[in-house]
Structures are given as C-alpha cells and as structure tokens.
Amino acid sequence: MLFYFTGTGNSLYVAKKIEEAPISIPQIMRQDSLEFSDESIGIVAPIYGHEVPPMVKDFMKSAVFHTDYFYMILTYGNRHGGAAELAKQLCDECGIKVDYIHMVLMVDNWLPSFDMSEQKKLDKKVDEQLAVLLHDLKIHKREISPVNDQDRAAHQQFLENQKKVPEEVWQHFIQIKDNCIGCGICEKVCPSSSIHVIDGKAVYHFNHCQTCLACAHACPQKAIGLSIPEKNPQERYRNEHISLQEIIQSNSQVNR
C-alpha cells in the first residue's frame, strides 16, 4: 500500500514506479476512518522547506498504520536540508516505526528560485536513482538516508529566513492575473480547495493552501503567479510522464 501527494507530478511518477495504483492523500483524507494494514506501507511526497507538506503531516498524524515495513520517499529539487531526519522526527511524533527514508532528486518546481526551462534541461538521473530505490524496497532495506551538520545548518538558516517573511505574503501567495479565462483547471488541481472560479474568474483564499503550486503550473493561460518574484513567469512544469488528468484525479476536491 502506497500513499502520495503531488503538485506537479514528480511524486506521482515515483509512486507509480513503486506500485501500480498508489493512493492520493488529498483523496483518502476525505474518509472518516484512516486505519490501514498491509505487508508494507509507504508515502511518497515532495519536500517543502525540507519537510513534507502540511497535508501529509496531518495524514500521518491522524492515520493508523499496521505494517511490518513503513517507508517514506521524498522528492526534492535542489537541497534536502536534512529532510530524512526531519521526516524521521515526524514519524516518531506520530508513533510510526519507520524503516526506510530516502530522497529522489528531480526537477525543482519552486518558481521563485528556478527557471523551469532550465530545470527541464538538467539530467538529474532520476531513473538511476529509482533503480536503487526499487531494489532497496524489494529487499525491505532498513536505512534512513544520512544527514550531516551542513544539512542541519541549511535547515536552521531556512527557518531564520522564513521568520522574516511577512504573513501577508502567504495570505496573498497566489495571484490571479487579468488574463484568467475561468477555465477552472486551477480549481480542479488544487488539493486543498483554496481556489474557486467565481463569476468566470479564479479566486484564491489561502485557507489550507499547501503552496504546492499545482494551480500555477497547470494554468494553460499562465494567468497564475506568485506574490514574490519568479525566475521565469512564462515557463511552467509538469512531470513529463504524468498527465493533467492524473493531477486532477489526485487532487480535485470539486464536488466535495
């Protein structure tokens, strides 16, 4: 049994390599009972500021897992900042006995720091990383990816920088531009019902926004930007092996 969270498809791509029918966390969170039993149970998720998205944390805190082998695979794009150690701490807090935590370096979809046209050109050797990971999972390897002091310092620095960001930056994090045509794709790819089409235009409420950027990356008009400068507002990203329909199926809260 494998659960996943995705904004732009990287984590879904990895999840599909591990299991044929991985389960979307935004969808399973609609269920009343979150108790699961299987021979092995895993979670694939991106890291945001070196940690898993808030919804993945909520899922781990509320779910009960019965398994002999629990693992986490974290996708990231540039700097993991000791994500494996932070994920291990989260598992401890949730009472989850975790056996394996590993990272996969992929395209970095964080628009303020990276130009997607540049990211798409880089060969991050994803399939080579996946081959190692799949072998590890097959033999139920027990290993938490190592973290060093430099990684820990990077995370501390990140936390310091975060404190300086004014709250209103997040409240208005997603900005809908005038060229929005109200197609509703943003609403369908949003895992947290933070965006709705009202009177033919997308309207954003921070609410439980995961800052996954699914809306910005999926907008066919490039009409969704951020409250902080972007490297290249004209270039967006979706994992090349994942369709828009799959992102919608993973995340849509429409008709909830």
Ligand X SMILES: Cc1cc2nc3c(=O)[nH]c(=O)nc-3n(C[C@H](O)[C@H](O)[C@H](O)COP(=O)(O)O)c2cc1C
CA–centroid distance for 241 within its chain:
16
Closest CB 186 distance from ligand X, rounded Å = 15
9 contacts: CB under 8 Å, gap ≥ 6: 238, 239, 241, 242, 246, 247
Six token digits for residue 202: 């997308």
Residues that bind ligand X (CB under 6 A): 6-11, 46-50, 75-81, 106-110, 211-213, 239
Closest CB 45 distance from ligand X, rounded Å = 7
Closest CB 9 distance from ligand X, rounded Å = 5
Of 67 and 227, CB closest to ligand X: 227
Of 137 and 213, CB closest to ligand X: 213
Q: Specify whether the CB–CB gap between 104 and 126 falls below 8 A.
A: yes
Closest CB 99 distance from ligand X, rounded Å = 22
Of 55 and 213, CB closest to ligand X: 213
Of 11 and 192, CB closest to ligand X: 11
Of 67 and 173, CB closest to ligand X: 173
Closest CB 119 distance from ligand X, rounded Å = 8
